[in-house]
Amino acid sequence: MEIIKVENLSRRFNKFLAVDSISFSVQEGEIFGFLGPNGAGKTTTINILCTLLKPTSGNAYVSCCDTTKEPNKVRSQIGIVFQDPSLDDRLTAEDNLRFHGRLYHLGSEEINKRIPEVLNLVELYDRKNDFVRKFSGGMKRRLEIARGLMHRPKILFLDEPTLGLDPQTRAHIWDYILKMRKETNLTIFMTTHYMQEADVCDKAAIIDHGKIADLDTPLNLKSKYNEQTLEGVFLKITGREIRSQAGESAWSQWMRRT
Amino acid sequence: MSDILAIYVLWLRDIKHYWYDKIRIFASLGQPLLILFVLGTALTPTLQGGVSFSKYIFPGVISMTVLFTSIFSAISIVWDREFGFLKEVLVAPISRWSIVAGKALGGSTVAVMQGAIMLFMAPLVGVELNLLIIVKSILAMFIIALAMNSLGIVIAARMKEMEGFQMVVNFIIMPLFFLSGALFPTDKLPQWLLLLNRFDPLTYGVDLLRKTIIGISNFHSIINIGVLLVFTLIMFSIAVFEFNISE
């Protein structure tokens, strides 16, 4: 079953075309990797899919609901771990989760049950009464993953979930995610810069200049481009030139303007 | 129903911030206390007749506390945007108006609590309180706080970064405070100042509170409450509109 469907989706920030008429779909239970250099349009696409941003043209459906027409239905079925932290660091870890559970309409019993479950999953249960501002970057990220999973979303969006984390933490985070996926039929939509992480994807789309350059299983991509690694495939498709954060800065300018 | 719950959760967050940050509770009382006791005591001998100056400005200083706390609390939305937390709220399955309402009610509750602390200084300036005055004052503070919070949210929705904060203090909070007649009677003002005074929504809040606490006023309380509620409604609508756009 298609759980995400995107049709001719475009998004323009003033003159800059961040996403240029892309179409793809994600099957339920899949890990879908969205790979691309800086400014390729990854975050813009995620922001449209999670209803933070309206497309300039085209349609996006998440779990059969149109992201612009029924945003609240979409919102209740997705969990998101943003690229930048989005915790309230003046509250405790438990406060943050309780707040999240209530925003997602969980009952008190369910909240009390889920808090230890998700905190144990990311091994933060013994820190539940600590203020988030005392947490390290890796702990914050783990807490965000726990929060994103708390309301049992159908789809988990991960925007660079392991950015800036040490290899140990990265390995742990992947363990949690894969464990979650084994236990439930969770669909994962992720972006990453670490190509070795993208190997766990069932499908990977390589996006550049707002367009999808190729979309296939990691195995097929490697054999198609005759490369040993996804990194090789990635560099073959997107070139070796260093990119500016054009798309990212257009997005942040837009966020500031509104 | 789910909207009410969302409002409650956002309200609770502001209350928790207030509770966890006890230093701020005292820090923000410094300025009003200085004005009340230093300015109030110093200027009292220069004025003749009527009530003492510190008694006269007492409701004005409470309004000031409510104004400052309200706007600062609303401006915290800018922090939430900078530190990413606003995204967590914006992707939650809750209506946009409940986000604004939760924030306005949370900030207003905090402002009323700060105002109430000031209110209990009353015996120190020779104002007598009774239960009825306390209840009416708290209601009046709440109406003022809602108006100022809604204004603050409109500003915060448009504010790019925290750097603009000084602008807000100098060009919005201070004029609102000084023009409101919180520190002086408005019946002998020159025409231009009187006009500015009448356009300041806080004027009606100060007047309402002064009537409630020491029984002196320029307008009927119905007018004061009416102006404040209409102002709140307009600001609230603009705020909801702005949050819908940033979707």
Confidence band, pLDDT 50/70/90 cuts, at residue A78: very high
Per the domain annotation, does A40 fall within a domain? yes
Give me the number of domains chain B comprises.
1
From A53, A76, A99, residue closest to B13, measured CB to CB: A99
From A95, A104, A255, residue closest to B92, measured CB to CB: A104
Per the domain annotation, does A10 fall within a domain? yes
- Tell me the three state secondary structure of residue A2: strand
**B37 CA: distance to closest CA in chain A (Å):** 33
Per the domain annotation, does A107 fall within a domain? no
Q: Which of A123, A91, A98, A99 is nearest to A113 (CA)?
A: A98
Tell me what percent of the residues of chain B surpass a pLDDT of 90.
Answer: 68
Can you give the pLDDT at residue B245?
Answer: 62
Contacting residues of B for A76, CB less than 8 Å apart = 93
Question: pLDDT: is B106 or A84 the higher one?
Answer: B106
CATH code (residue A194): 3.40.50.300
* Residues of A at the B interface, defined by Cβ within 8 angstroms: 50-54, 71-73, 75-76, 78, 80, 82, 84-91, 95, 99-100, 102-105, 131, 147, 255-258
Per the domain annotation, does A249 fall within a domain? yes
Cβ–Cβ of A85/B6 closer than 8 Å? Answer: no
Give me the number of domains chain A comprises.
1
Closest-CA residue of A relative to B21 is A90
Model pLDDT for residues B188-204, shown as the tens digit of each residue: 899 999 999 999 999 99
Per the domain annotation, does A106 fall within a domain? no
Domain range enclosing B36: 2-245
**A183 CA: distance to closest CA in chain B (Å):** 24
Model pLDDT for residues B88-135, shown as the tens digit of each residue: 999 999 999 999 999 999 999 999 999 999 999 999 998 999 999 999
Cβ pair A83, A32 in contact under 8 A: no
* Cα A62 to Cα A72: distance, rounded to the nearest angstrom: 11
Model pLDDT for residues A124-176, shown as the tens digit of each residue: 999 999 999 999 988 999 999 999 999 999 999 998 887 777 888 888 888 88
Contacting residues of B for A54, CB less than 8 Å apart = 247
Tell the residue number behind the tokens 């609230």, with chain if given: B236
List Cα–Cα distances, A256 to A184, A252, B234, in angstroms: 38, 6, 23
Cβ–Cβ of A103/B161 closer than 8 Å? Answer: no
E-state strands within B60-210: none
Residue B218: what are its φ and ψ, rounded to 5°? -95, -35
Euclidean distance between the first and the last CA atom of chain B, given in angstroms as a whole number: 22
Can you give the pLDDT at residue A256?
Answer: 54
* Cα B103 to Cα B106: distance, rounded to the nearest angstrom: 5
| Mean pLDDT score, A61-70 | 91
Per the domain annotation, does A93 fall within a domain? no
Can you give the pLDDT at residue A249?
Answer: 58
Confidence band, pLDDT 50/70/90 cuts, at residue B247: very low
Tell the residue number behind the tokens 């520190």, with chain if given: B183
Confidence band, pLDDT 50/70/90 cuts, at residue A253: low
Interface contact B78, partner A, CB < 8 A: no
Per the domain annotation, does A137 fall within a domain? no
Contacting residues of B for A97, CB less than 8 Å apart = none
Confidence band, pLDDT 50/70/90 cuts, at residue A239: confident
* Cα A93 to Cα A128: distance, rounded to the nearest angstrom: 5
| Torsion B27-B32-B37-B39 (CA) sign | positive
A26-61: b (≥16 Cβ within 10 Å) or e? beeebbbbbbbbebbbbbbbbbbbbbbbebeebebb
* Cα A193 to Cα A27: distance, rounded to the nearest angstrom: 22
Model pLDDT for residues A90-121, shown as the tens digit of each residue: 999 999 999 999 999 999 999 999 999 999 98
Domain range enclosing A178: 2-83+153-257
User: Exposed/middle/buried for B45, CB within 10 Å: 0-12, 13-18, 19+?
Assistant: exposed
Model pLDDT for residues B19-38, shown as the tens digit of each residue: 988 888 888 888 899 999 89
> Which DSSP state fits B35?
I
Question: pLDDT: is A164 or A13 the higher one?
Answer: A13
